């Protein structure tokens, strides 16, 4: 697995937060009383700001957001939002989880606004620090098939 500097890890985590936050309304509009995805993003922001890493907090926030995803499974868009937030906060522990924030944000759009998928991918790419852009965005693949868009995350030994 590729090692990243602490600075790059924080850059990646902030990027994952930004990606997840852009689609957060697709969850909160349907589940206004469920703040688990939002709290996951806040936990990650706290780690970025303070550099204080408490595994119980990070893991708890990630697991809670993924539990929200399971509760929202009948609504794919909302489910993927919660997954994006759960992955974003987990980037505090393993930088590669940041990819999941972007990946699931794109899956939200496939579910609710497929016409915006390509535009969102471009936004994600431009939002990412230049020195990380090629490496990260080359792993997130958009395929346009007869059935519509699919999003894939290419993994290998360096992932």
pLDDT tens digits, one per residue of 93-102: 999 999 999 9
Q: What is the pLDDT of residue 91?
A: 97
Pairing of strands 140-145, 148-153: antiparallel
Mean pLDDT of 29-42: 98
Which tens digits make up the pLDDT trace of 68-78?
999 999 999 99
Can you give the residue ranges of every domain in the chain? 6-153
Among 75, 97, 89, 92, which Cα is nearest to 28's?
Answer: 75
Mean pLDDT of 105-119: 97
At 157, is the secondary structure helix, strand, or coil? coil
Query: pLDDT tier at 142 (50, 70, 90 boundaries)?
Result: very high
Among 66, 67, 75, 84, which Cα is nearest to 24's?
Answer: 84
Exposed/middle/buried for residue 12 (C-beta within 10 Å: 0-12, 13-18, 19+):
buried
**Choice between 159 and 48, residue whose per-residue pLDDT is larger:** 48
Query: pLDDT tier at 83 (50, 70, 90 boundaries)?
Result: very high
Q: What is the pLDDT of residue 158?
A: 75
């Amino acid at each position: 697995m590729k090692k990243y500097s602490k600075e790059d890890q924080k850059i990646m985590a902030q990027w994952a937060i930004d990606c997840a936050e852009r689609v957060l309304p697709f969850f909160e509009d349907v589940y206004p009383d469920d703040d688990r995805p939002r709290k996951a993003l806040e936990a990650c922001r706290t780690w970025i700001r303070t550099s204080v890493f408490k595994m119980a907090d990070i893991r708890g926030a990630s697991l809670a957001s993924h539990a929200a995803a399971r509760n929202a499974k009948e609504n794919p868009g909302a489910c993927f939002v919660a997954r994006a937030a759960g992955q974003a906060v987990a980037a505090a522990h393993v930088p590669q989880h940041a990819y999941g924030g972007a990946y699931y944000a794109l899956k939200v759009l496939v579910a609710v606004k497929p016409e915006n998928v390509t535009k969102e991918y471009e936004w994600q790419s431009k939002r990412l620090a230049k020195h990380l852009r090629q490496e990260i965005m080359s792993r997130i693949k958009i395929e346009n098939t007869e059935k519509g868009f699919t999003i894939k995350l290419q993994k290998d030994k360096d992932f």
